């Protein structure tokens, strides 16, 4: 399945959600810049808050493997594909490097979002949470979001995306109350492959937009 744009995909997802959740107390949390373009359409139809969870990934030195990610709350979430033994091995071998990368990542996040951009728990508490991305190739972003939401009391967790891989969907079934995935891919070709229009605002532009939206909801 292919989409004209992320906004078009968001409209299709919104059509699935609006009848059931139009009058519910919802909040849409985008997990990427492209996810904001998808989530805008859902939030507009549900007339609810749209915000973004800003993260920074950290890779294992010398390997193109994600070790985990730091969220804007400062929490670090390990890649769930690692076993506890692998995490212990990497942590022992790269202890100083990983700690330094975590600090640098959190510092970059703080510079980006400024004073107004942190998601406030009170804006999410006792709501139906809709986590949105423009794709789920794996469960890395989802794991960070779940970790972030743990201390916040929510009514239901819905995950929505235009496209996802089979392993990602398997993980989503475990952690989410409800899934809205338009297309599940056995052979994932990369997020941009499924959109005709791949114009996505810069990270800085996206953060500035989200900051303004969040400030308007306070």
Q: What's the CATH number where 202 sits?
A: 3.40.50.2020
- Structural element, H or E, at residue 160: strand 156-165
CB 33 within 8 A of CB 132: no
Same domain, 42 and 146: yes
Find how far residue 101's CA is from the centre of its chain: 20
Domain of residue 70: give its range.
Answer: 58-113
1 in a structural domain:
no
Task: Please give the pLDDT value at position 166.
Answer: 93
Question: What is the spatial distance between Cα 173 and Cα 13, in angstroms, rounded to a whole number?
Answer: 18
Residues of the chain with pLDDT under 70: 64, 111-119, 214-218
Cα–Cα distances (Å) from 68 to 11, 77, 147, 159, in that order, read: 31, 5, 12, 20
Same domain, 196 and 169: yes
Single residue among 92, 113, 134 that ends a domain in this structure: 113
Nearest to 9 by CA among 162, 136, 132: 162
Query: For the segment 190-200, what is each residue's pLDDT rounded down to a tens digit?
Result: 999 999 999 99
Domain count, the chain: 2
Same domain, 95 and 180: no
Same domain, 30 and 134: yes
Task: Please give the pLDDT value at position 217.
Answer: 63
The pTM (predicted TM-score) of the whole model is: 0.82
Same domain, 16 and 45: yes
Task: Please give the pLDDT value at position 116.
Answer: 47
Task: Please give the pLDDT value at position 60.
Answer: 79
Same domain, 37 and 132: yes
Task: Please give the pLDDT value at position 114.
Answer: 57
46 in a structural domain:
yes
């Amino acid at each position: 399945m292919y989409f004209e744009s992320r906004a078009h995909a968001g409209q299709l997802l919104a059509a699935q959600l609006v009848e059931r959740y139009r009058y519910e107390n919802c909040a849409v949390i985008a997990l990427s810049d492209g996810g904001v373009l998808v989530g805008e359409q859902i939030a507009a139809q549900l007339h609810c808050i749209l915000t973004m969870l800003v993260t920074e990934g950290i890779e294992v030195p010398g390997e193109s493997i994600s070790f985990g990610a730091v969220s804007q709350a400062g929490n670090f979430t390990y890649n769930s594909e690692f076993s506890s033994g692998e995490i212990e091995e990497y942590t022992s071998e790269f202890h100083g490097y990983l700690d330094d990368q975590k600090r640098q990542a959190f510092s970059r996040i703080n510079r980006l979002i400024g004073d107004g951009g942190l998601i406030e728990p009170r804006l999410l508490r006792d709501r139906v949470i809709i986590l949105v991305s423009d794709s789920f190739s794996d469960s890395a972003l989802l794991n960070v979001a779940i970790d972030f939401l743990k201390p916040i009391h929510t009514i239901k967790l819905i995950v929505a995306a235009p496209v996802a891989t089979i392993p990602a969907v398997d993980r989503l079934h475990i952690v989410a109350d409800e899934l809205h995935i338009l297309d599940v891919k056995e052979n994932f070709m990369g997020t941009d492959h499924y959109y005709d229009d791949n114009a996505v605002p810069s990270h800085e532009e996206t953060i500035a937009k989200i900051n303004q939206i969040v400030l308007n909801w306070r």
